[in-house]
């Protein structure tokens, strides 16, 4: 019985497209030992115990394809690797990291499995897999397992390590539009698009959000005066330095007033609708405690609204909720808050909940609000008495469709005056569906980097596609977020081919990055001379803002152990089918397994992209079926049956005919190169290039729209510049 | 002597183009004429020898105390370091009352200088003590405090040289360049295109390094440490020597370099930890360089040295530091090219590391470092090396800036020499700083200063753009508002978003953003601040001009509709038509050199302004043969006139004609004053290159109704009688109205008029005198604002004017504007004409409109 255990042999983070899927996964190798002899249906009580711990498993469709599918597999009998996959995914989802993809496959030797789960964060997935193993073992051995605690821990981990929900909604919207993304730090700094065409976001700020504008938005006084200059209605007010001066200002402005810190960011230290000297002075102290100057303003009657302006347009609007309770003559205010307000399932402490729980000890404004009504947390309001607990705080009610065009225009103008491309405009109005001036409404604040969650998860009303709006602001309909990316794999000729392609792109005038077996190159410069194919190193090219085109050589080993450094490519080149030899440590034992490994290079070709395949290698040529885009075949002879066939179907082909390199499509032919010319012949004689390399590279260059005379010139000059290889 | 009413003239003004303080000063009789060599002047020179020569308003005239005040205010500012030259004192009509005007560079400093000057005068007079040093110190400190810092100042200076207007947005270093839709902002050396994200990246050294590494830029490897032990492990893995510094630091706080052993390492860690997370990095050998990138270009480079002294074998370290600090170039603040070396605990601690104390005497030639970092603010020095930077180094630095995403930044490079590529010498980029200080490049301690302010301005405003939008200023006695509205309408027809100010409010792109009389500089400034304005048309009234000066340094077009016999004379020391003309010509004086003054050729006061205009002149006149216009035309210059029921615009042999019948505002040319307004607006639109087709289209679509120009010749039909409502309130306006109305057929002619109390008696009488020749019946009423006159006084003046009237048969007094309107309407039959000179524009028009609607309803029934 002692060998009835699950052991991890290795865990690998595949950071890019891989043999399993397009997206990053965590691949674990496990040894289940004697459990190989004990499928789930043979372990008494196991399935019941497992379901009791994770009732959500019923939603897993598994290969059966319908709800309860996985449970059916459990009943029929399945093995721990497969069970761990589902348990890990369930744990990840429960923790707030939404993932659907998983796989479990026998690796070869008895009891050894590869378990794969989609990951959005390596650390979280490692922990989830470890927990899945422990949970499955607990279910097998009938031990108690603290599943709720584990999920709580994982949830915290997700909150800490994954990108926040505001950023995530922009990234997801970009992903939907096939815009790639790269996370640049442990926080919410994300690059959308590649190389020179990239844009950056950091939560709801973009790389075009001006630092000065952000500074202006934080200075409420300056913001207000700039807005007022341009005729945007604002609450009049002034800065004060003492409680006495605050009261003086309040009388001068006219009651009621509100009091707030000048440099505050959120609702902290803000008190509204103050009518007495005592209230104003108390509010002064509250605001002063936030550590900046204090501002006294005319209180604008009405509800708080938050309008999200993106690229000059209002894309979402929410209204603040007024949390209130009704007395029953029995319970205290504090109790009523618990019963009538905090019991709402939408309320919680974490960022994900649309509404905050209200605790008087944390919400001083609520205390002040109650005090104004003559109440404290311990008071017992008489039956049916309506008590407002808090006005500031949650912008919970979507009102996007109600916003009057005048209001929208002024909100957009306010953002423009401050200079922000994305802004959260706070305004107070009695009725957002009416023009501002007539109702005495005012814009009270313009915020840089506004939270998006309130628009994604309003407590009431429709969720708004603010992520799409921001993605659309960053990338207009016809803009190109990608740069030309060429990926190569093969048993041989890939290094020379990749260098020749990079050289041609360079001659085309593009700042070209190249990662190959010889190193990492940027234009004519070698950044480092060891292998440049490591994932981390290769990905640098896509992060680099100056890179206008990138060429990536890769190998089966890199593909299996790291994944590709890019998500999709314009051109995918396979020169020949790699051999399995040397990959035994990765459980690759026969050449037959190789096409399944290498096909990834085809899977990632964009639908408007091109596969460049060696027609003379059947296994390579057969991978054409996995390519979403077009196919160019190359061969050393025009007569190869596949070349003839493809050409007859009006496909592109590249071949050598006698001493001529020919690019052909249907009847159309271009003779790109003549080996009889001494300058060309020298290149081959000096072994700068091989015939196959020239074929593959020319085909790729053609796919990239490089002119034939440039291809010719590039081949002629290849290797004559010291940096070229 | 008494100083009253101090004003800050914040733009070009009656006196000069300079921003100035203006004070009204009254002098006692004995203070009015102070002969040369008098006791006052002697005493004054004893206290303040630097004061300039005292002179009266003209050479040879004796100076008054007001003149002394002027010169003292000027000299005090000069002595405090303000570069100003202009001052003037003018006697007013009132005996012993003077207007004293003194230029300022900073308003607060100007005001303080005036206050001190007054105190000095009184001290001299009363023979009491005066502390000149205190005054100068205060002025100097205030100036240093309020004026722009050297970095921002250098950018602003470059902008001014390029003709770009600027305005400070805060008391700090935030400045706006340009106007309207062409505005840009800076804050110190940060521009409005400096991305907030990029700035955050630059703040995070670790992130910056990883991005630079991705871009192939050499950086010192290293990473942030979790704790002391982790830090030491990192140090060992990188290999000594290393640097320890806080992750988010500035000005070199908490940084320790070149650490080779554990004990110093521990200390360094502790120091850095005080400022946040600690970063351990490879130490790069060599000097600190700061390379400034603007846009995608390297524009300056400096080698920076920490504060140090070189031993001479005689003096102690302390003495050596004092010697260095005695250098007059070393100041205390940020404004000089060098700052005094701070000899504090940090310096002493640094000495200790070199086995020295303040009293040690270093041997000759020994370099004694007093601080680890090379910041100028702690006494470091900067040597310009811009011309030495190797192209490869420049390329890396530019890529670094680009990778982080900051458009203006200071890149810190450590290497042995910038003459060689970084890769050849183990050099690297250690930091990218947003909002870099420019002082070390503008005035380096050694080597050539670089005009980096210009580089930043050229980057913000490429291709010679000067950030200006067309500004058209309209002034004159009558017709301003209509001309403003029509000009704005023509610009709008040319697809421009127009900002407009006039006596009814401020309008931007069709939206009214302010109401009330907005013909002053504050409203105009607001328009120039508005991001949606492509062109601006400003009604420029006398009040604002006197109070604050112009809202702009110069305009593209100045229109002067007319001066005539003036309006509001007698107020604010503007007594004669000539005075008024001198005031109004300020807009003409401040036309851009490539701009245009549009002047009424038939008004002699206006026509005379032509020679004051730095730009070109377009004359307009109804009469094609008016000598001024004809001469101008003969010279091949631009003119606009009427001929054969056409408006003709002509320059040399080029003509453009618009039939008056296509310009509804002129009622087929019947209303002469409107035709004049149209010609002025056409000339202005022509001056800013609005195409002729657009001008013609614009004129055909402009209607002077209540919506278009409320209160300006609004015509109504009331039971078959013609009602005309107008705001005209001075003899010229009334004369023009009478001419226009004369062209309109009518049986009985009725006029309703009140008099504004703030006009001179003669002006009020003149109005009814004119009306008496053209109207059968006159209804007089007393308006809402009598401006200090007693009840019935104005009515009496109006009645006086009607004395002996040739046409008027019937005169009636009514209390209240609406009652007067009712009375007049009751007296009308079909075919009659009634001119109502309204007072409360909005209310009266609404009232008349109501009456008209009512009559239409009744007749419909």
Phi, psi of B442 (to 5 degrees): -70, -50
Q: pLDDT band for B560, please (50, 70, 90 cuts).
A: very high
Q: What H or E segment, with its residue span, contains residue A541?
A: helix A535-543
Q: What is the pLDDT of residue A698?
A: 96
Q: CB A189 to CB B434 under 8 A?
A: no
Check residue A342 and report its DSSP letter: I
User: Long-range contacts made by residues B422-427, C-beta under 8 angstroms, separation at least 24?
Assistant: B422/B218, B422/B392, B422/B393, B422/B396, B423/B218, B423/B392, B425/B286, B426/B284, B426/B285, B427/B218, B427/B284, B427/B286, B427/B393
Q: What H or E segment, with its residue span, contains residue A646?
A: helix A641-648
Does the pLDDT value for residue A83 go beyond 90?
yes
Any A CB within 8 A of B518 CB: no
Helix residue ranges per DSSP H, A387-509: 405-418, 453-456, 466-474, 494-507
Mean pLDDT of A502-528: 94
Q: How far apart are CA B278 and CA B228, in angstroms?
A: 9
* Closest-CA residue of chain A to B523: A229
Any B CB within 8 A of A605 CB: no
Can you give the length of chain A in residues?
725
Q: How far apart are CA B584 and CA B605, in angstroms?
A: 10
- The shares of helix, strand and coil residues in chain A, as percent rounded to the nearest 5, are 40, 25, 40
With beta carbons less than 8 A apart as the criterion, state whether B181 and B531 touch.
Answer: yes
Window 206-265 of B: residues touching A by CB (8 A cutoff) are 207, 211, 213-216
Which residues 6+ apart lie within 8 Å of B298 measured at CB?
A: B291, B292, B389, B394, B397, B398
- From chain B, the residues in CB contact with A223 under 8 A are none
With beta carbons less than 8 A apart as the criterion, state whether A579 and A667 touch.
Answer: no
Window 498-557 of A: residues touching B by CB (8 A cutoff) are 520, 522, 525, 527, 539-541, 543-546
* Closest-CA residue of chain A to B531: A417
Q: What H or E segment, with its residue span, contains residue B41?
A: helix B39-47
Tokens representing residue B186 in the block: 């800076």
Q: How far apart are CA A40 and CA A79, in angstroms?
A: 6
Around Cβ A30, how many Cβ atoms within 10 Å? 24
Q: How far apart are CA A632 and CA A575, in angstroms?
A: 12
- B56 or B489: which carries more pLDDT confidence? B489
Interface mutation vs chain B, best among A210, A263, A415, most B CBs within 10 Å: A210
Q: Which of B157-161, B236-240, B354-358, B458-462 has the lowest mean pLDDT?
A: B236-240
With beta carbons less than 8 A apart as the criterion, state whether B637 and B597 touch.
Answer: no
Three-class SS state of B287? strand
Q: How far apart are CA A92 and CA A97, in angstroms?
A: 5
Helices (H) and strands (E) counted in chain B, each on its own, are: 28, 38
Q: How far apart are CA B111 and CA B116, in angstroms?
A: 9
Q: Which of A338-347, B120-129, B195-204, B437-446 has the lowest mean pLDDT?
A: A338-347
Measured torsion, CA atoms of residues B582, B587, B589, B593, in degrees rounded to the nearest 10? -170
Does the pLDDT value for residue A20 go beyond 50?
yes
Around Cβ B314, how many Cβ atoms within 10 Å? 10
Q: CB A201 to CB B197 under 8 A?
A: yes
Tokens representing residue B351 in the block: 């000495």
Burial of residue B676 (CB within 10 Å: 0-12, 13-18, 19+) is buried
Can you give the length of chain B in residues?
861
Q: What is the pLDDT of residue B750?
A: 92
Q: How far apart are CA A176 and CA A281, in angstroms?
A: 52
Measured torsion, CA atoms of residues B141, B142, B143, B149, in degrees rounded to the nearest 10? 80
Q: Tell me how close the Cα of A179 comes to any Cα of chain B, in angstroms.
A: 20
Q: How far apart are CA A192 and CA A182, in angstroms?
A: 6
Q: How far apart are CA A260 and CA A295, in angstroms?
A: 5
Q: In this complex, which of A205, A522, A525 lies closest to B196 when CB atoms are compared?
A: A205
Q: pLDDT band for B298, please (50, 70, 90 cuts).
A: very high
Does the pLDDT value for residue B817 go beyond 80?
yes
Phi, psi of A310 (to 5 degrees): -125, 120
With beta carbons less than 8 A apart as the criterion, state whether A326 and A374 touch.
Answer: no
Beta strands in B436-576 (DSSP E): 471-475, 498-502, 505-508, 511-515, 535-539, 555-560
Q: What is the pLDDT of residue A1?
A: 41
Q: What is the pLDDT of residue A725?
A: 43
Q: Which of A307-321, B267-281, B389-403, B407-421 has the lowest mean pLDDT?
A: B267-281
pLDDT digits (tens, 9 = 90+) for A301-332: 888 899 999 999 999 999 987 788 888 988 99
Chain centroid to Cα A498, Å, comes to: 30
Phi, psi of B86 (to 5 degrees): -90, 135
pLDDT digits (tens, 9 = 90+) for A610-628: 999 999 999 999 999 999 9
Helix residue ranges per DSSP H, A487-529: 494-507
Q: How far apart are CA B32 and CA B501, in angstroms?
A: 42
pLDDT cut 70: percent of chain A above it: 97
Comparing CA positions, the residue from A539, A504, A526, A511 lying closest to residue A698 is A504
pLDDT digits (tens, 9 = 90+) for B464-484: 899 999 999 999 988 898 999
With beta carbons less than 8 A apart as the criterion, state whether A647 and A653 touch.
Answer: yes
Any B CB within 8 A of A209 CB: yes
Q: In this complex, which of A189, A232, A544 lies closest to B215 when CB atoms are compared?
A: A544
Helix axes of B672-687 and B731-742: crossing angle, nearest 10 degrees: 110
- From chain A, the residues in CB contact with B223 under 8 A are none
Which residues 6+ apart lie within 8 Å of B226 measured at CB?
A: none
Comparing CA positions, the residue from A12, A28, A13 lying closest to residue A87 is A28
* Closest-CA residue of chain B to A420: B192
Tokens representing residue B316 in the block: 């102690």
Tokens representing residue A341 in the block: 């307000």
Q: How far apart are CA A578 and CA A576, in angstroms?
A: 6
Comparing CA positions, the residue from B154, B275, B152 lying closest to residue B203 is B275
Does the pLDDT value for residue A721 go beyond 60?
no
Q: How far apart are CA A333 and CA A328, in angstroms?
A: 10
Any A CB within 8 A of B653 CB: no
- What are B331's strand-pairing partners? B339
* Closest-CA residue of chain B to A417: B531
pLDDT cut 70: percent of chain B above it: 97
Three-class SS state of B349? helix
With beta carbons less than 8 A apart as the criterion, state whether A605 and A627 touch.
Answer: yes
Mean pLDDT of A457-467: 91
Q: pLDDT band for B707, please (50, 70, 90 cuts).
A: low
Q: What is the pLDDT of residue A460?
A: 86
Q: Tell me how close the Cα of A177 comes to any Cα of chain B, in angstroms.
A: 23
Q: CB B192 to CB A416 under 8 A?
A: no
Q: In this complex, which of B169, B190, B530 lies closest to A230 when CB atoms are compared?
A: B530
With beta carbons less than 8 A apart as the criterion, state whether B261 and B268 touch.
Answer: no
pLDDT cut 90: percent of chain A above it: 69
Q: What H or E segment, with its residue span, contains residue A13?
A: strand A7-14
With beta carbons less than 8 A apart as the criterion, state whether B449 and B443 touch.
Answer: yes
Q: How far apart are CA A94 and CA A307, in angstroms?
A: 32
Q: What is the CA radius of gyration of chain A?
A: 32
What is the residue-averaged pLDDT of chain B? 90
Q: CB A211 to CB B199 under 8 A?
A: yes
Q: How far apart are CA A716 and CA B820, in angstroms?
A: 98
- What are B297's strand-pairing partners? B294
Whole-model pTM: value is: 0.86
Q: Which of A81-90, A532-541, B775-784 has the lowest mean pLDDT?
A: B775-784
**Cα four-point dihedral sign B358, B360, B361, B362:** negative
Q: What is the ipTM of this complex?
A: 0.86
Does the pLDDT value for residue B729 go beyond 90?
no
Burial of residue A297 (CB within 10 Å: 0-12, 13-18, 19+) is buried
Mean pLDDT of B535-556: 94
Comparing CA positions, the residue from B297, B275, B178, B273 lying closest to residue B225 is B273
Q: How far apart are CA A367 and CA A681, in angstroms?
A: 88
Does the pLDDT value for residue B799 go beyond 80?
yes
Phi, psi of A713 (to 5 degrees): -60, -35
- Helix/strand/coil (H, E, C) string of B131-153? CHHHHHHHHHHHHHHHCCCHHHH
Q: In this complex, which of A207, A545, A546 lies closest to B195 when CB atoms are compared?
A: A207
Q: Tell me how close the Cα of A109 comes to any Cα of chain B, in angstroms.
A: 39
Q: How far apart are CA A680 and CA B551, in angstroms?
A: 72
Does the pLDDT value for residue B491 go beyond 90?
yes
From residue B663, alpha-carbon distances to A468, B484, B669, B776 in Å are 50, 16, 8, 30
């Amino acid at each position: 019985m002692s060998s009835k255990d699950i052991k991890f042999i290795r865990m690998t983070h595949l950071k890019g497209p891989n043999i399993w899927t397009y997206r990053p996964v965590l691949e674990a190798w496990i040894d289940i030992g004697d459990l190989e002899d004990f499928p789930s249906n043979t372990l008494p009580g196991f399935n019941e115990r497992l379901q009791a711990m994770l009732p959500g498993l019923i939603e897993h469709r598994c290969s059966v394809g319908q709800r309860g599918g996985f449970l059916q597999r459990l009943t029929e009998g399945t093995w721990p690797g497969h069970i761990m996959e589902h348990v890990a995914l369930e744990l990840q989802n429960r923790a707030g990291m939404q993932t659907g993809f998983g796989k479990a496959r026998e690796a070869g030797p008895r009891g050894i499995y590869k378990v794969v789960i989609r990951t959005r964060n390596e650390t979280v997935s490692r922990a989830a897999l470890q927990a899945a193993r422990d949970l499955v073992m607990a279910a097998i051995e009938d031990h108690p397992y603290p599943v709720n605690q584990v999920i709580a821990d994982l949830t915290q981990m997700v909150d800490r390590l994954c990108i926040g929900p505001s950023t995530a909604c922009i990234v997801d919207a970009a992903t939907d539009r096939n815009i790639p993304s790269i996370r640049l730090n442990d926080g919410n700094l994300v690059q959308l698009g590649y190389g020179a065409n990239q844009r950056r976001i950091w939560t709801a700020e973009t790389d075009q959000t001006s630092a000065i504008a952000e500074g202006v938005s934080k200075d409420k006084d300056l913001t207000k005066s700039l807005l007022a200059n341009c005729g945007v209605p604002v609450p009049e007010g002034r800065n004060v330095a003492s409680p006495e001066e605050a009261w003086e200002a309040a009388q001068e402005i006219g009651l009621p007033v509100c009091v707030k810190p000048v440099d505050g960011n959120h609702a902290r230290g803000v008190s509204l609708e103050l009518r007495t000297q005592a209230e104003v002075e108390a509010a002064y102290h509250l605001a002063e405690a936030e550590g900046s100057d204090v501002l006294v303003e005319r209180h604008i009657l009405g509800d708080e609204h938050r309008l999200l302006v993106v690229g000059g347009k209002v894309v979402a609007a929410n209204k603040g909720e007024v949390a209130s309770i009704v007395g029953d003559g029995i319970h205290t205010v504090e109790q009523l808050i618990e019963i009538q307000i905090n019991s709402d399932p939408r309320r919680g402490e974490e960022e994900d909940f649309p509404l905050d729980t209200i605790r008087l000890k944390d919400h001083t404004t609520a205390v002040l609000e109650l005090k104004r009504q003559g109440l404290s947390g311990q008071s017992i309001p008489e039956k049916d008495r309506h008590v407002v607990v808090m006005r500031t705080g949650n912008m919970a009610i979507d009102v996007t469709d109600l916003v009057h065009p005048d209001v929208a225009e002024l909100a957009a103008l306010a953002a423009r005056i401050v200079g922000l491309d994305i802004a959260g405009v706070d305004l107070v109005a009695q009725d957002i569906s009416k023009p501002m001036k007539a109702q005495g409404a005012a814009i009270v604040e313009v915020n840089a980097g506004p939270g998006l969650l309130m628009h994604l998860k309003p407590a009431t009303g429709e969720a708004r596609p603010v992520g799409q709006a921001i993605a659309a602001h960053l990338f207009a309909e016809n803009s190109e977020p990608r740069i030309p990316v060429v990926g190569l794999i093969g048993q041989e000729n890939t290094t020379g081919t990749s260098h020749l392609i990079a050289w041609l792109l360079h001659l085309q005038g593009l700042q070209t990055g190249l990662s190959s077996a010889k190193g990492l190159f940027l234009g004519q410069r070698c950044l480092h001379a060891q292998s440049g194919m490591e994932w981390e190193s290769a990905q640098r090219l896509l992060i680099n803002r100056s890179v206008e085109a990138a060429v990536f050589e890769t190998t089966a080993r890199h593909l299996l152990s790291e994944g590709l450094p890019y998500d999709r490519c314009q051109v995918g080149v396979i020169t020949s089918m790699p051999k399995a030899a040397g990959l035994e440590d990765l459980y690759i034992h026969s050449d037959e397994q190789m096409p399944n490994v290498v096909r990834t290079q085809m899977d990632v070709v964009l639908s408007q992209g091109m596969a460049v395949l060696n027609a003379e290698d059947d296994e390579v040529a057969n991978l054409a079926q996995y390519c979403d885009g077009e196919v160019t075949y190359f061969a050393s002879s025009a007569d190869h049956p596949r070349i003839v066939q493809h050409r007859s179907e009006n496909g592109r082909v590249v071949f050598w005919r006698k001493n001529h390199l020919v690019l052909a499509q249907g009847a159309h032919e271009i003779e790109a190169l003549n080996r009889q010319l001494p300058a060309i012949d020298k290149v081959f004689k000096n072994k700068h290039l091989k015939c196959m390399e020239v074929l593959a590279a020319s085909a790729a260059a053609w796919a990239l729209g490089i002119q034939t005379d440039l291809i010719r010139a590039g081949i002629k000059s290849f290797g004559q510049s010291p940096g070229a290889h | 002597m008494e100083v009253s009413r101090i004003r800050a003239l914040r733009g070009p003004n009656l006196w000069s183009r300079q921003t100035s303080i203006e004070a009204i000063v009254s002098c006692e009789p004995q203070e009015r004429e102070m002969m040369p060599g008098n006791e006052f002047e002697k005493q004054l020179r004893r206290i303040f020898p630097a004061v300039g020569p005292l002179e009266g308003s003209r050479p040879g005239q004796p100076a008054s105390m007001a003149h002394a005040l002027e010169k003292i205010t000027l000299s005090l500012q000069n002595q405090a370091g303000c570069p100003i030259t202009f001052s003037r004192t003018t006697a007013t009509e009132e005996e012993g009352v003077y207007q004293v005007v003194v230029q300022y560079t900073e308003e607060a400093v100007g005001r303080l200088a005036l206050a001190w000057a007054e105190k000095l005068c009184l001290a001299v007079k009363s023979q009491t003590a005066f502390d000149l040093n205190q005054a100068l110190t205060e002025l100097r400190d205030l100036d240093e405090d309020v004026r722009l810092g050297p970095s921002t100042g250098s950018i602003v200076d470059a902008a001014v040289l390029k003709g770009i207007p600027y305005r400070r947005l805060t008391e700090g270093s935030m400045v706006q360049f340009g106007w309207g839709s062409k505005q840009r902002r800076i804050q110190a050396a940060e521009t409005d295109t400096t991305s907030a994200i990029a700035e955050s990246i630059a703040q995070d050294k670790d992130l910056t390094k990883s991005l630079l590494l991705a871009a192939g830029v050499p950086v010192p490897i290293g990473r942030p440490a979790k704790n002391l032990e982790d830090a030491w492990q990192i140090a060992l893995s990188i290999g000594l020597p290393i640097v320890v510094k806080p992750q988010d630091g500035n000005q070199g706080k908490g940084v320790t370099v070149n650490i080779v052993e554990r004990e110093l390492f521990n200390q360094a860690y502790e120091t850095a930890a005080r400022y946040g997370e600690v970063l351990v990095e490879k130490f790069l050998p060599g000097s600190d360089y700061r390379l400034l990138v603007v846009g995608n270009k390297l524009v300056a480079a400096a080698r920076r040295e920490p504060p140090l002294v070189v031993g001479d074998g005689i003096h102690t370290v302390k003495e050596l530091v004092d010697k260095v600090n005695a250098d007059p170039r070393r100041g205390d603040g940020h404004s000089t090219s060098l700052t005094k070396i701070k000899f504090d605990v940090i310096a002493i601690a640094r000495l200790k590391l070199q086995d020295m104390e303040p009293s040690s005497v270093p041997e000759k030639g020994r370099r004694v470092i007093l601080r680890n970092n090379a910041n100028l603010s702690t006494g470091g020095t900067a040597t310009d090396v811009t011309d030495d930077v190797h192209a490869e180094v420049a390329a890396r630095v530019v890529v670094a800036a680009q990778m982080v995403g900051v458009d203006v930044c200071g890149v810190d490079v450590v290497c042995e020499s910038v003459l060689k590529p970084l890769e050849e010498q183990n050099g690297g980029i250690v930091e990218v700083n947003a909002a870099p200080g420019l002082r070390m490049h503008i005035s380096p301690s050694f080597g050539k200063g670089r005009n980096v302010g210009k580089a930043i301005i050229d980057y913000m405003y490429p291709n010679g753009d000067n950030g200006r939008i067309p500004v058209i200023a309209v002034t004159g006695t009558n017709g301003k508002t209509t001309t403003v509205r029509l000009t704005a309408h023509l610009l709008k027809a040319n697809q421009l978003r127009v900002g407009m100010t006039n006596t009814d409010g401020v309008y931007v792109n069709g939206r009214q953003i302010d109401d009330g009389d907005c013909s002053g500089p504050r409203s105009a400034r607001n328009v120039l601040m508005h991001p949606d304005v492509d062109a601006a048309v400003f009604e420029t009234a006398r009040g604002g001009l006197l109070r604050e000066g112009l809202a702009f340094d110069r305009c593209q077009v100045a229109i002067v509709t007319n001066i005539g016999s003036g309006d509001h004379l007698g107020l604010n020391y503007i007594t004669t038509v000539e005075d008024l003309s001198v005031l109004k010509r300020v807009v003409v004086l401040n036309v851009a050199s490539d701009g245009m003054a549009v002047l009424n050729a038939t008004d002699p006061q206006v026509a005379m302004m032509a020679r004051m205009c730095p730009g070109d002149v377009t004359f307009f006149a109804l009469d094609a043969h008016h000598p001024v216009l004809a001469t101008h035309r003969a010279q091949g210059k631009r003119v606009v006139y009427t001929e054969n029921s056409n408006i003709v615009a002509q320059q040399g042999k080029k003509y453009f004609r618009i039939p008056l019948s296509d310009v509804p505002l002129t009622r087929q040319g019947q209303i002469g004053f409107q035709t004049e307004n149209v010609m002025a607006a056409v000339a202005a639109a022509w001056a800013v290159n609005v195409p002729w087709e657009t001008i013609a289209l614009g004129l055909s679509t402009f209607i002077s109704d209540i919506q278009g120009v409320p209160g300006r010749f609004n015509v109504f039909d009331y039971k078959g009688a013609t009602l005309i409502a107008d705001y005209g309130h001075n003899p010229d306006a009334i004369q023009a109205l009478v001419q226009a109305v004369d062209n309109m057929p009518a049986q009985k002619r009725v006029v309703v008029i009140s008099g504004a109390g703030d006009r001179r008696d003669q002006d009020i009488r003149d109005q009814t005198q004119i009306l008496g020749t053209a109207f059968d019946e006159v209804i007089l009423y007393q308006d809402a604002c009598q401006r200090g006159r007693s009840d019935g006084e104005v009515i009496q003046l109006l009645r006086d004017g009607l004395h002996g009237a040739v046409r008027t048969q019937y005169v009636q007094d009514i209390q209240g504007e609406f009652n007067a309107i009712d009375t007049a309407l009751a007296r009308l039959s079909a075919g009659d004409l009634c001119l109502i000179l309204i007072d409360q524009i909005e209310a009266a028009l609404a009232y008349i409109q109501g009456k008209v609607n009512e009559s239409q309803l009744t007749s419909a029934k």
